[in-house]
């Protein structure tokens, strides 16, 4: 028998919340329209353990808290109150009397909807009643392992993909009608949305949050977001959400000093402060904070059918010293810099998410060298199923920025990643972080003339797509946006009027579809046997060649990173036969110079690169080629 306490709550819910084991605390915390003892109204519940008194204030009581004082529930630290005869749409906050005698006003940490900034109040909202149409998607997801299938992610900032004018954003529904079919047509398998939790400052891109359970009102209502996700699933697209459990912003209406004391961030300012970002770290040693965050991860999957979370700033969470001056360094009980509480939290997070959603994606944005990030927790890992490969990204962008004449001296930058490519389950990210703050766009990182920039970006994309690991590309990069990303304006769609950008756009679309269709490029991503160098040592000519293997299939990849035209370039191939050209980055339709490339290449019985057969190719400058054995045309 469930033991209830006043206001319709039950002891078990509160016990689990205080213990750090409440996985669905959003179902009873916050504001919920309910029927209590035959009366319609809203039950409010908030955690404020050190508050002397808590009141509900809002449009329904003229913001006069004396009329709605909340009940303290034992020693749980939770205050609750049922307010009769109110419902959805009511605007509210909590008014807390602190131990210092001051009254402070706070938004609801569990609010499902918030006023549009600069206003900061919470809005009573029911998340029930949306009729989901994604049963077929959910069934197909259960039958597809993310490890042995294509994963090609389009990273999107909803506030600048397209806009109607200054701060006149597309709604969730409008993005469903425009962004979703576009991404599907381009061949992506998933859309990754930069954070959608409510945040006060546009320029934070959603990474500095006040309302963790509140889908931002910039783009509409929570049910509008549900329609967006439903549309993605109808088009065969998964949805990944950037999720930020590492820190929160300091705005007065948010979590900082929530009840007049640091209950979410912890008492030690040296540990709580994130000086680089001007934010506060969560206190992962606090059980109620763990319940708050783990419930939030489950919430996005429960309520919005999100298919995965990209967990932001893992390195900053697990390292107590990261981005802090020496005078702010703190140590764990063993005397080290590892945040043991954060490590326990991440393991518990992944165990919980996969318990409820075994087919979901949990991706770590992690720049650390922490081992076994994508190994199960029972094997000592952190329990994620994918990790961003920041090492590959940094090495490759450094290499591509070099003058081609200097590349022979830095050949290791394009080969080193294969020494560790199978130590984790990797995603190769070309994300928003690489095209802002003076870093230049991907296209403008490339050296040389205008034409050479495009040729090298096509080459780089080809190598990225065929290197072991799943893929992520930030919006606008698919047509070679020349300017950096401008978060307050929309992407430079107008450049598609120019042949060079239009050719790049066509190239990326074709490359995306080849990737999805060619199983050798993703089927055995986790296995070292999926990759075989043909020639790894040709630093003088800046050419590499290798083989990707699937289950019974293989492809051959050749990449010329030099400005030289190699008219007769021979490579060894593993089997006798006719090698069909799947992609040639220098074709004229993509903006290149080649108009008459051969559709296929016949192998010759000339031993080369340790193989009995070889083929002779013409390799123009900055060219990527992808070949596959045509089983119907052996000779």
CB 580 within 8 A of CB 556: no
**Helix (H, G, I), strand (E, B), or coil: what is residue 203?**
helix
Instruction: Please state, in angstroms and as integers, the Cα–Cα distance from residue 479 to each residue in 154, 453, 500, 509, 537, following that order.
Output: 13, 12, 9, 9, 32
Q: Which two tokens stand for residue 442?
A: 């991907």
CA distance 225 to 112: 12
Q: Which two tokens stand for residue 182?
A: 């576009």
CA distance 341 to 286: 9
| Residue showing tokens 């206001």 | 7
Q: Name the residue among 247, 304, 302, 234 with its Cα closest to residue 280.
A: 247
CA distance 272 to 280: 5
The residues that bridge with 584 in the sheet, in sequence order, are: 625
The residues that bridge with 566 in the sheet, in sequence order, are: 619
62 is catalytic: no
Range list of H helices, 416-498:
442-445, 450-466
**Helix (H, G, I), strand (E, B), or coil: what is residue 414?**
helix
Q: Which of 108, 155, 242, 312 is catalytic?
A: 312
- Residue 31: cis peptide before it, omega within 30 degrees of 0: no
CA distance 465 to 461: 6
CA distance 628 to 626: 7
Q: Name the residue among 76, 24, 4, 19 with its Cα closest to residue 46.
A: 76
Instruction: Please state, in angstroms and as integers, the Cα–Cα distance from residue 57 to each residue in 105, 288, 379, 579, following that order.
Output: 9, 24, 49, 72
CB 230 within 8 A of CB 128: no
In degrees and rounded to multiples of 5, residue 295 shows phi and psi of -60, -35
CB 12 within 8 A of CB 24: no
Q: Name the residue among 159, 223, 200 with its Cα closest to residue 489.
A: 159
* Proportion of the chain in helix, strand, coil states, percent, rounded to 5: 30, 25, 45
Strand pairing report for 190-193 and 238-243 = parallel
CB 156 within 8 A of CB 256: no
Which conformational region is residue 609 in: left (phi greater than 0), alpha (psi within -120 to 50 degrees), or beta? left
Q: Name, in order, each residue with C-beta under 8 angstroms of 102's C-beta and a sequence gap of 6 or more.
A: 260
Q: Which of 365, 424, 523, 525 is catalytic?
A: 365
Longest dimension (CA), the chain: 91
312 is catalytic: yes
Q: What is the CA radius of gyration of the chain?
A: 27
Q: State the catalytic residues.
A: 312, 365
């Amino acid at each position: 028998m469930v033991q209830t306490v006043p206001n319709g709550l039950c002891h078990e819910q509160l016990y689990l919340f205080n213990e750090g084991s409440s996985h669905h605390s959003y179902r009873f915390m916050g504001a919920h329209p309910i029927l209590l003892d035959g009366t319609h109204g809203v039950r409010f519940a908030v955690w404020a353990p050190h508050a002397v008194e808590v009141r509900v204030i809002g449009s329904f009581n003229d913001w006069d808290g004396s009329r709605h004082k909340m009940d303290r529930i034992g020693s749980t630290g939770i205050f609750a109150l049922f307010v009769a005869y109110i419902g959805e749409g009511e605007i509210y906050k909590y008014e807390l009397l602190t131990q210092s005698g001051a009254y402070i006003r706070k938004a609801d940490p569990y609010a499902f909807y918030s006023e549009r900034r600069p206003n900061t109040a919470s809005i009573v909202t029911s998340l029930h009643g949306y009729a989901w149409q994604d049963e077929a998607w959910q069934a197909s997801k259960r039958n597809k392992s993310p490890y042995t299938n294509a994963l090609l992610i389009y990273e999107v900032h909803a506030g600048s993909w397209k806009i109607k004018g200054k701060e006149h954003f597309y709604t969730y529904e409008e993005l469903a009608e425009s962004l979703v079919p576009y991404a599907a047509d381009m061949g992506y398998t998933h859309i990754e949305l930069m954070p959608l939790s409510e945040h006060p400052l546009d320029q934070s891109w959603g990474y500095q949050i006040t309302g963790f359970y509140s889908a931002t009102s910039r783009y509409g209502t929570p049910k509008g977001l549900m329609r967006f996700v439903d549309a993605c699933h109808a088009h065969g697209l998964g949805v990944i959400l950037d999720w930020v459990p590492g820190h929160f912003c300091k705005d007065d209406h948010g979590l900082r000093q929530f009840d007049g004391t640091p209950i979410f961030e912890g008492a030690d300012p040296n540990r709580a402060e994130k000086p680089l970002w001007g934010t506060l770290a969560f206190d992962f040693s606090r059980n109620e904070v763990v319940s708050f965050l783990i419930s939030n991860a489950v919430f996005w999957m429960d309520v919005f059918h999100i298919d995965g979370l990209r967990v932001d700033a893992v390195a900053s969470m697990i390292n107590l010293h990261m981005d802090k001056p020496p005078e702010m360094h703190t140590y764990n009980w063993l005397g080290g810099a590892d945040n043991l509480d954060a490590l326990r939290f991440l393991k518990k997070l992944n165990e919980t998410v996969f318990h409820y959603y075994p087919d979901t994606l949990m991706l770590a944005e992690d720049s650390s060298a922490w081992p076994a990030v994508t190994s199960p927790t029972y094997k000592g890992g952190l329990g994620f199923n994918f990790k961003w490969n920041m090492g590959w990204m940094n090495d490759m962008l450094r290499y591509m920025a070099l003058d081609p004449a200097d590349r022979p001296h830095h050949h290791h930058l394009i080969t080193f990643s294969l020494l560790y490519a199978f130590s984790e389950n990797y995603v190769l990210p070309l994300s928003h972080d690489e095209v802002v703050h003076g870093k230049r766009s991907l296209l403008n990182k490339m050296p040389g003339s205008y034409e050479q920039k495009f040729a090298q970006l096509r080459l780089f994309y080809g190598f990225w797509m065929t290197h072991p690991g799943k893929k992520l590309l930030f919006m606008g990069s698919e047509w070679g946006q020349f300017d950096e990303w401008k978060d307050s304006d929309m992407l430079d769609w107008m450049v598609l009027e120019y042949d060079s950008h239009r050719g790049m756009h066509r190239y990326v679309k074709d490359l995306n579809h080849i990737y999805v269709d060619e199983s050798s490029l993703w089927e055995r991503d986790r296995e070292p046997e999926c990759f075989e160098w043909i020639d790894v040592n040709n630093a003088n000519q800046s050419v590499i060649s290798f083989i990707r293997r699937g289950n019974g299939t293989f492809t051959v990849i050749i990449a010329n990173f030099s400005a030289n035209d190699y008219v007769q370039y021979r490579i060894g191939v593993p089997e006798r036969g006719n090698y069909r050209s799947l992609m040639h980055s220098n074709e004229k339709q993509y903006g290149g110079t080649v108009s008459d490339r051969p559709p296929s290449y016949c192998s010759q019985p000339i031993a080369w690169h340790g193989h009995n057969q070889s083929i002779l190719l013409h390799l123009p400058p900055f060219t990527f080629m992808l070949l596959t054995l045509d089983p119907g045309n052996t000779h």
